[in-house]
Amino acid sequence: MSAPRGEFSSRFGFLMAASGSAVGLGNIWGFPTNAASNGGAAFLFTYLFLAFALAYPALMAELIIGRHAKANAVTALRSLARGPRTAALGTAVGMAGMVTVSLILSFYAIVSGWMLAFLVASVADIMRLPSVSAWLTTTGVVRDVIFTAIFIVLTIFVVSAGVRHGIEKWATRLMPSLLIILVLLIGYVMTLNGAMEGLRVYLVPDFGRVADTGLLLSALGQAFFSLSLGVGTMLIYGSYISKHENLPALGGMVTLLDIGIAVIAGLLILPAMYVALAGGIEIYNDDGGLIAGPGLIIAVLPAMFAQMGEAGILVALAFFLLMTIASLTSSISMLEVPVSYCIENHNIARLKAGTLIGVVVGLVSLLIVYNFDVLFSLVVSATTEYSQPLLGFFFAVFVGWIWHRDGVLAEIRQGCPDADNGLFWRIWPFYIRFICPLAILAVYGQMLFG
């Protein structure tokens, strides 16, 4: 327990790290197509509302617990317990979060490995090595194993350097680059034939869809995954925030950055898809919806880049660099969860903990790669659809029902001295006690029985 704890050096450092965690594959392959298929701007407003009404309060719960305890999820939750039973619940939730986030990392690393392979493929194209590029962009177990491993090593490399010199340093470098690449790509794609149609599909609201409960619930699930909730990631990042910082404001900024980048990503993805359509590429799946997820990133968009000739090579390079950055700033936040636990509770050195857990996660990835058709979607839905919201429920219960209200307020007042007079304290405690748990249960019920 004696290892010195890391802390973010500045507010900017935390914001980059936390928004880096939040902004990931989920924002780029999920949000834009989800919005376009579900009422365009109408979905956007629903999502904005849900993100602020439900996901933001849940994010705040994790940040506040983390900074209060200045410890990993297991220790932090146990420290709020009122007796042996709630302490055991704390251990269980913390452990389950660790297992969940490690499993998320194991499939995330595979997809991120594809991003890396496509990135290297565009370098090979620039160097006029078509056979290398063809190998890198063709599905194959060997390719997947190699690039998943490289991606995990990159993740270990950053996490092993520590909170300030690894996570914060790389997030503050990578996140601004991500934004610049995104804006440049949007500027270019907008000039192409078909882009305006994509923009129309994305932004013209169809308010008839907002009342659809299935849509509401899936938007909530998306918001939870996108804000990295339920698995202790935001809790551990919160534990590295200085006591002088205003938590409600910081959490609000992270939420805004995450949503903002998802919305901006839509300005790239939808126009790009309709440029592809104008070029004769299929962008709809069998159900008539827009192709989303991995299929969008490794089939639709590459086909479009290929049609663009020489310029397409550079656009592909920029795009897969963007995806790799988005993945890496998320994956480091995942690995940090079990690593911080091993350091603090088992006195294992950071490098050793990172390597050990990285290897175990890599072995699980390997298992998934070799049994892809059976395991991939199973692990994705077990972790992101079932485990994450359920754990989010327990985090809300810990803050809303187990932790004493005075303790919560005392923590928020550090860095925000008149919190008890502000809007946040008037609304949030009620949300985290009643609305969040009930809404999560509703999502859950809908998923199990709906």
Q: Which residues bind ligand PHE (CB under 6 A)?
A: 21-22, 24-27, 101, 104, 225-226, 228, 231, 233, 330, 333-334
What is the DSSP-derived secondary structure letter of residue 348?
-
Which CB, 109 or 353, lies closer to ligand PHE?
A: 109
Which CB, 72 or 330, lies closer to ligand PHE?
A: 330
Residue 378 CB, shortest distance to ligand PHE, in Å, is: 17
Residue 124 CB, shortest distance to ligand PHE, in Å, is: 27
The percent helix, strand, coil of the chain (3-state, each to 5) is 80, 0, 20
Token pair belonging to 299: 């089939």
Cβ atoms of 364 and 104 closer than 8 Å:
no
Among 263, 53, 63, residue whose Cα is nearest residue 179: 263
Residue 230 CB, shortest distance to ligand PHE, in Å, is: 8
Token pair belonging to 64: 């506040």
Residue carrying the six token digits 């009620």: 430
Residue 100 CB, shortest distance to ligand PHE, in Å, is: 8
Give the residue closest to ligand PHE by C-beta.
24
Residue 196 CB, shortest distance to ligand PHE, in Å, is: 28
What is the DSSP-derived secondary structure letter of residue 209?
G
- 164 exposure class (CB count in 10 Å sphere: 0-12, 13-18, 19+): middle
Residue 62 CB, shortest distance to ligand PHE, in Å, is: 11
Cβ atoms of 219 and 50 closer than 8 Å:
yes
Which CB, 124 or 380, lies closer to ligand PHE?
A: 380
Which CB, 26 or 194, lies closer to ligand PHE?
A: 26
Report the C-alpha gap between 94 and 340 in whole angstroms.
12
Token pair belonging to 266: 């839509």
Which CB, 232 or 312, lies closer to ligand PHE?
A: 232
Which CB, 133 or 365, lies closer to ligand PHE?
A: 365
Cβ atoms of 307 and 230 closer than 8 Å:
no
Report the C-alpha gap between 365 and 331 in whole angstroms.
13
Contacts 24+ apart (CB under 8 A), 135-139: 137/298, 137/302
Residue 424 CB, shortest distance to ligand PHE, in Å, is: 23
Which CB, 205 or 260, lies closer to ligand PHE?
A: 260
Among 352, 351, 355, 357, residue whose Cα is nearest residue 338: 357
Residue 283 CB, shortest distance to ligand PHE, in Å, is: 22
Which CB, 252 or 293, lies closer to ligand PHE?
A: 293
